[in-house]
Structure formats: C-alpha cells, structure tokens
Structure 1
Amino acid sequence: MDRIAITGGARLNGSIPVSGAKNSAIKLMAASLLTDEPLRLTNMPRLADTRFLGKLLSRLGVEVTESDGPDGQQTLLHAAEITSGFAPYDLVRQMRASFNVLGPLVARSGQAKVSLPGGCTIGARPVDLHLQALEALGAKIDLHEGYVYAQAPRGLKGAEIVFPMVSVGATEHAMLAAVLADGVSVIQNAACEPELVDLQECLNAMGAKVEGAGTSTITITGVARLNGATHAVIPDRIEMGTYAVAAAMAGGEVRLTNARPGLIDNLLLKLEEAGAGVEHTNDGCIIRRNGARLNAVDIETAPFPGFATDLQAQFMALMTTANGESRIRETIFENRFMHAPELMRLGADISVSGGEARVRGVEQLEGAEVMATDLRASVSLVIAGLVARGETTVSRIYHLDRGFERLEEKLGACGAQVRRIKGDGEPEL
C-alpha cells in the first residue's frame, strides 16, 4: 500500500486549483443511465471513486470515455442500451454511492438487481429511505441474500415522498428515479446541499423538469425520455475547505481558484474567528496566516448550509495547535471521531465523549506514523503533519485517493514537503 510522508514546518504560498466535486460527479455519472444519448461531464475529477463507478457503469452497458477537452478534464458517458440490470456486490461494496444506480435502472428498464452497499466505518447509513422513495414511486422491492430486486414493469408513477429525516443520498436517488416517472413527484424534507442543485441543473439540461433543489421541497414533473447534454461539474466545496484549513494550519498565503467560497461560508467564518485572514476573489478566495497562533473555536456539524461534517476532521486537526480549548460536536454521523486517536499519536490533546470532542491546543505536534481510517480522516492527518516537528507518515491512503485529486502535487506546488511512498499494491475498498 502507498503511504504519504510529510515533513512539517514549511509555510504554504501559492495557488491551488479546486477540482470538480466528487460528491456531485458520481451522481451525475449515474444520470447517464437515464438516456440513450451521450452525457458529457466537464470539470471532472479523476479519483478512485469516479473510476469505480465508471467500472460499474461499463458493466451495465455504458460506454465511458475519459479525455482532456477544451473545458479541461471530461468524461463522456453513453448508455445507448442497458445491457445488464445487475450490479454485483464486488463492485457496489467498493463505493457506497454506486447503490444509486438502482433508481435510474428501474426508471429506464423497469427492473434491476443491485447489491446492498454494506457497512460504513463512519456509521450505519442505511438505505431504507432510498427504498421507501422507490416504493412510493411504485416500484416493487424485494430483499434477498444481500440484494435489492426492484421492479416497475409498467413504469414508475409520480408520488409524494416525505423523508422522515434529511438524507442527501436518498434525495438524489429519488430525483434520479422520478424524472422518468409518469406524473408529478414532490419530495418533502429534501436535503439542500449544493450538489442537489448541480444534479437538478444537469437533469434539466437533459430535458427533465425539476425545480426546488436547494430547498426542502423539490417538485419533479416526469417526462417520457431524456436527451444527452453537456454539463460542468460544480467545484468541490470539501476540497476547497480542506485546502483553506491547510493554509490556515501551516501559515503563509494560498489562493484557491476555480472555487465558490459561498458554498463554505460557515467554515470561512470560523477560520476568521480563529484568526486567519480570508479574502474573496473573482474565482475563489485567499487564505492568509502570518504565523501568529490561532485561537480555539467551537463548531457543530449540521446539514447545509451549516458546518459540513466532511470538514470536521480537518478542523479538528487545525484546533490541535490553537490557543485554548475547542469543542467539536458531530451531529450527522456516529463514529466520526476515529481520527482523534491518530491525531493524539502526533501529540494532540483530545478527549471524546459521545458526539462531542474537546481539543486542548498544544504548542507543538510531533511527527509519527499514523493510519487513515476514512476519506476525510486521512487528509486531517496530512494537515496536522504540515506543522508537526519531523516526519509524519500516513498509511492506508487509498482512502485519501477516493476524494482528493493530486494532493501531493497541489500542496507541493505551495511549498509543502510532502511525498508519496509507493507500496507493493493497493487493496480494494
């Protein structure tokens, strides 16, 4: 397995371009199943997760072509014919979001057999809400031997879908299925994340009639068929927030480009409260810190537009050397403090009780060997390593490769001393 080694102490100065959003790209790729015409996605990130989903889509009959076009990295997906409605466990288990092929397959072909995605290290994240939405749309659902069998031979029907709790994945899944349903569907208590707006824009470019994404009520008027389209993936707000935290951690001045700072206002306000400088630009923002010690700041994760759970681990790393004590409350996922013991190996003073962590800032972190436990935890260890004395080595970085494109290159261009140590092979997720 590959590892990443970081020699701490270098300030960051330079520019980092933000890639397309992983969490949006993988749902947009699934939308290609809804039409027999080509869907061209630009501003596409090249990640382990997009490769995994591309492999699954190819098995279902989608022709997937990656290239560099006039608009940067792009992926062309063409599902001229669905050749299989079977998504096996060995592919679905590698990436949870691949379960979202179920709705588009049923919407277009009338049937599908898709593996349940299995467990998750940061919480159970059951798919009950996904299945309830499909059943509301008229699909017959059977569970057998770890697989979901879904059928709607006469097509899906518009319906009211009321989620008992907010779920980004279930909201996206309902949207992907309802666009081809007969009649009007209304999704209540929908998630409001920017990635849902991105999905709406792509689906509408394909001929769908979706409105309300970004609010708690989404209305979808089903159409008989969708056409091909070209759509640019929204910039990755989690990657942007991660590099903003890294700049505040290491000090210096970093310009983030191809970004939308309005999508991480909550984080940027917390960085300013801690003592970092934030300046908005035409295509992103600039993060500055002159070397003065940051102040401890409390955060509590919440659905958008609150503080993103996917930035919690990074912010905890930032607080490990801040002046004072910060409280970090995690309200979205259980078990999402697994990075805390690894940060403590670097000398951090952290105590965890239930859904709250208390971080008492220390003067200096010390380099050590640490292990990534999930995608966001892995990059929090890299951020801590930027200021730790000596060398920090992060193992199991296949987690990191799922969501961060060319991380060593982007940080290295700003002066970070970070390098990848090649291993004998990569495990499957």
Structure 2
Amino acid sequence: MEAFEVTGGRPLHGTTMIYGAKNAALPILAATVMAEDVCVIEGVPRLQDVRVMVEILRTLGATVDWQEDRLVIDPSHIHSTDVPSDLMRQMRSSIFLMGPLLARFGEVRVSRPGGCVIGQRPIDYHLRGMKELGAKVEEAHGYVRCSANRLYGGHISLDFPSVGATENLMMAAAYADGTTVLENVAREPEIVDLAVFLQKCGAKIEGAGEDRIVITGVHHLGGATHRIIPDRIVAGTIMIAAAATEGDVTLEGVVPSHLGATILKLRETGVQVTIDRDIIRVNSMSPRRAVDIRTAPFPGFPTDLQAPAMALLTTVNGTSVIRESVFEARFKHVNELARMGADIGVDLQTAVIRGVNRLTGADVEASDLRGGAALVVAGLMAEGKTRIEGLHHIDRGYQQLETMLRDLGADIVRID
C-alpha cells in the first residue's frame, strides 16, 4: 500500500503554479457529450477522477485524446447512454452525465454514484428537476433510468443550493424547448465556468454565479475550446499549509475572488496575505490566533477546506470552533489528528479545537479526499515523521501533491 512519509518542521518557501480545477473539469467533460463537434478542454488536471470520466466517455463511444493538460474530445460517435456501473461507483461526479445524455439522446441509465463517504449526498434534487423538465424517472435495483422524447422548459426551485444539481439541470435545460428558470441555485465559480463553456458551444444561459439562472433552450451545440479555471481548493490547501508551517509561499495563476472566505480566515489568524492580480502571497509567523469557521456554499468558507483548516488550528493559541453545515459526516479526520496530539472535541456537526504546543508524527490513514489533505498539513507541522496511508483518496483531488510540496521545501516522499 502506497503512503506518504512526511518529516515535519520545515517551513514552506517558494512559488507554485495552480493547475485546473477538478470540480470544474468534471462537469465540463460531461457536457462535451452534448456537443456535435470536437471540443478541446485545456488545463485539465491529471487526477484519478478525471481518468475515470475519460474512461466513461470512451466507453460511451467518444474519442478522447489526452495530450499533457489538454483533452481533445470527439463526441460525434457516442453510441451508448448506459453509464457503466463499475465506473459510476468509483466517482460520484459521474452523475453529471445524466443531464447531458438525457438532453441529447432522450435517455440515460446510471447506477447510484460512489465517491468519498462524507455524509448523505442524495441525488433527489437532480431527479426531481429532471421530472420538472418532462423526463420519466424509473428507479430499480440501484439503477436510475431517465427518458423523454423531448425536454421542456420549466421553473425549478432547489430546496438547497446543490452544486451538482445546479450543473446537471443547467446542462439538461440547455437542450430543452422553451425557457427554464432555476432558483435558489449554487453560485460556485465552477458553475460559472461550466456556463461559459456551454455558451461557447452555443447555449443561451444568463445568471450563472447568481442564485437565479435562466436558460433558453437550443437545438444544437457545436464544439468549443475552453481552459479550465484554476483549482481554488488546491490553492486554499497550499495557502493553509504555508500558514501552518510558518512559511512564505507565492501562488501564481489563481483567481483571488474565488478564495475570499479563505483569505479572510487566514488573515484573522494573523497570517499575512497579499494579492496582486492573479498572484497570492502567504507569509506566516507565530503566534497565530484562534478563529471560528462555519462552512457554507460559495461565497462562504468551502467545506472542502474545513479539514485542512482544522489541521492548521490544532496548534494556534486559544480555542477555535468549526461548524460543518454542508456535510454531516465530515469529521472523520479528527481521530487521526488526535493520534498526532491534537485536542479536538466533536458534538454532532461542531468541532472544538483547543490549541496545543505541537503535533507529533504518527501513522495515520486518510478516509476521504480532504481529510487526507488535512493529514498532510498536520504532517508538515508535526515533530518527527508521519506516515499517511489511503493515498488513493488524496490522488482523487491533488495532482502529485508530494511533488508540489517538495518543490516548496517540504520533506515528503511517496513510498510503497
């Protein structure tokens, strides 16, 4: 079993470039099945989840040529609307294919998706929205089949601003007859990026990035060339790691407006964060202060950075409180941090972190993607060596994380 071996105590220093966002790439790759011409997607990270999506596209009949960070996709020969269940189980984001396949071909069959176990993430919002657009939805034996001779515009209000449901319904509505209004939708930058790609293909979408999106359906989408936005979660993780190790790191190729809540909380701890166009510099010195964090949909503090932020707060002065309001089972990293000497108490979806003088290296295991990132941050801070197993989780969202950190001066290696 592969593991990271981290020797802590080295401040991170230097400059790093942030690559394309996984959470933008996956729905955009799914959206290419709606196009009738070749699509070129640039800035695509080489991650396990992306590899799974590419394999799904190929299985459906698309031609995919992967050249470094560039994917050339020809969807004109897609011959199947049945997404393989073994690939669905590997990656939750495969559910994004529901809307595009239904819209273009009139039917789709998927199994219940997999991914990190971080709480209930039902696809009810997706299915309810498809029904509102005129689809017939059948569920049996762990599979979902949606069918419609034609989708029709409608007025859909989400009970919760789900990112996945917003993206899936936006894609389906792009081919529906008439106008669709989506309300109480998610506002994440990745949704805006998907809308920009679809607009390049010929879709008519207004309001992406706001809580109300209006889509006027079209009958044809062409190909397009598009570059993925930088990954704000990777950027946030590196910023937190720099702060945790009392380092001085410059991030290039970022969109600072995507990181507003993260920047605010780092500054509240006493970390110096400076911004210059697409460059962010994080300069951290002791002592740092305790802060309270409540996760929330964008533009709030991202749930995907809750775990790394918790690792940072384990050694700050005072008591910090984190309230997880997005997923109810996202504190699985707490027990592993405790093995390293952290003092953390959990009550339902609230964690109380009492700062300790230091963490010490230990053998720990990642049980999900962002919890794994938290253990890496903790290992960089800790005294002695930390062995982190469960790298398949981390590899789903970070492209060669050990190389990126090693280039910034970290002592981290991947071992068998």
What TM-score, normalized to structure 2?
Answer: 0.99
Please, which of 152, 155, 172 is the counterpart of residue 167 of structure 2? 172
* SS of equivalent residue, structure 1 residue 299: strand
User: Take 1:187 and 1:374, find their aligned partners in 2: how far apart are those partners?
Assistant: 31
Structure 1 letter corresponding to 2:248: E
Please, which of 308, 322, 327 is the counterpart of residue 328 of structure 1? 322
Aligned to 2:6: 6
Q: How far off is 1:111 after superposition?
A: 1.1
* SS of equivalent residue, structure 1 residue 46: coil
Aligned to 2:35: 35
Q: How far off is 1:312 after superposition?
A: 0.2
Structure 2 letter corresponding to 1:87: V
Q: Unpaired runs of 5+ in structure 1?
A: 423-429
Is 2:177 aligned against 1:182? yes
Structure 1 letter corresponding to 2:163: V
Q: Alpha-carbon deviations, 1:31-55, whole Å to 9, x = none? A: 1110121111111111000001111
* SS of equivalent residue, structure 1 residue 129: helix
Aligned pairs for 1:96-245 (under 5 A) are 96-118=92-114, 120-153=116-149, 155-245=150-240
Task: Verify the 8 A CA contact 1:293 1:323 in the aligned structure 2.
Answer: yes
Q: CA RMSD in A?
A: 1.0
User: Take 2:168 and 2:367, find their aligned partners in 1: how far apart are those partners?
Assistant: 27
Aligned to 2:270: 275
* SS of equivalent residue, structure 1 residue 247: helix
Task: Verify the 8 A CA contact 1:21 1:234 in the aligned structure 2.
Answer: yes
Task: Verify the 8 A CA contact 1:36 1:81 in the aligned structure 2.
Answer: no
User: Take 2:287 and 2:415, find their aligned partners in 1: how far apart are those partners?
Assistant: 31
Structure 2 letter corresponding to 1:51: R
* SS of equivalent residue, structure 1 residue 210: strand
Q: Alpha-carbon deviations, 1:68-109, whole Å to 9, x = none? A: 3xxxx2111111122111112211010001011111111111
Is 2:56 aligned against 1:56? yes
Q: Unpaired runs of 5+ in structure 2?
A: none
Q: How far off is 1:119 after superposition?
A: 7.6
Q: Alpha-carbon deviations, 1:285-324, whole Å to 9, x = none? A: 000013x121111110011101100000010000000001
Task: Verify the 8 A CA contact 1:82 1:109 in the aligned structure 2.
Answer: no
User: Take 1:211 and 1:81, find their aligned partners in 2: how far apart are those partners?
Assistant: 30
Q: How far off is 1:249 after superposition?
A: 0.4
Q: Alpha-carbon deviations, 1:338-389, whole Å to 9, x = none? A: 1010000000000000110000011010000000010000010000101111
Task: Verify the 8 A CA contact 2:90 2:115 in the aligned structure 1.
Answer: no
Aligned to 2:250: 255
Structure 2 letter corresponding to 1:295: R
- The 4+ residue runs of structure 1 with deviation greater than 4 A are none
CA separation of 1:120/1:50 partners in 2, compared to 1, >3 Å: closer, same or farther? closer
Task: Verify the 8 A CA contact 1:188 1:218 in the aligned structure 2.
Answer: yes
Identity of aligned residues (%): 46
User: Take 1:137 and 1:98, find their aligned partners in 2: how far apart are those partners?
Assistant: 20
CA separation of 1:119/1:232 partners in 2, compared to 1, >3 Å: closer, same or farther? closer
Please, which of 319, 330, 345 is the counterpart of residue 313 of structure 2? 319
Structure 2 letter corresponding to 1:61: G
Q: How far off is 1:120 after superposition?
A: 4.9
Q: Alpha-carbon deviations, 1:376-428, whole Å to 9, x = none? A: 00010000101111100110110000000121111101110000013xxxxxx
User: Take 1:58 and 1:252, find their aligned partners in 2: how far apart are those partners?
Assistant: 43
User: Take 1:118 and 1:289, find their aligned partners in 2: how far apart are those partners?
Assistant: 38
User: Take 2:133 and 2:60, find their aligned partners in 1: how far apart are those partners?
Assistant: 23
Q: Alpha-carbon deviations, 1:224-267, whole Å to 9, x = none? A: 11000001101111011000000000112100011112111111
CA separation of 1:377/1:152 partners in 2, compared to 1, >3 Å: closer, same or farther? same
Please, which of 333, 353, 361 is the counterpart of residue 359 of structure 1? 353
Q: How far off is 1:118 after superposition?
A: 5.0
Aligned to 1:427: none
What TM-score, normalized to structure 1?
Answer: 0.96
241-250 or 279-288, which deviates more: 279-288
Q: Alpha-carbon deviations, 1:169-228, whole Å to 9, x = none? A: 000000111101111011011111111110110000000000101111000000011000
Structure 2 letter corresponding to 1:181: A
* SS of equivalent residue, structure 2 residue 76: coil
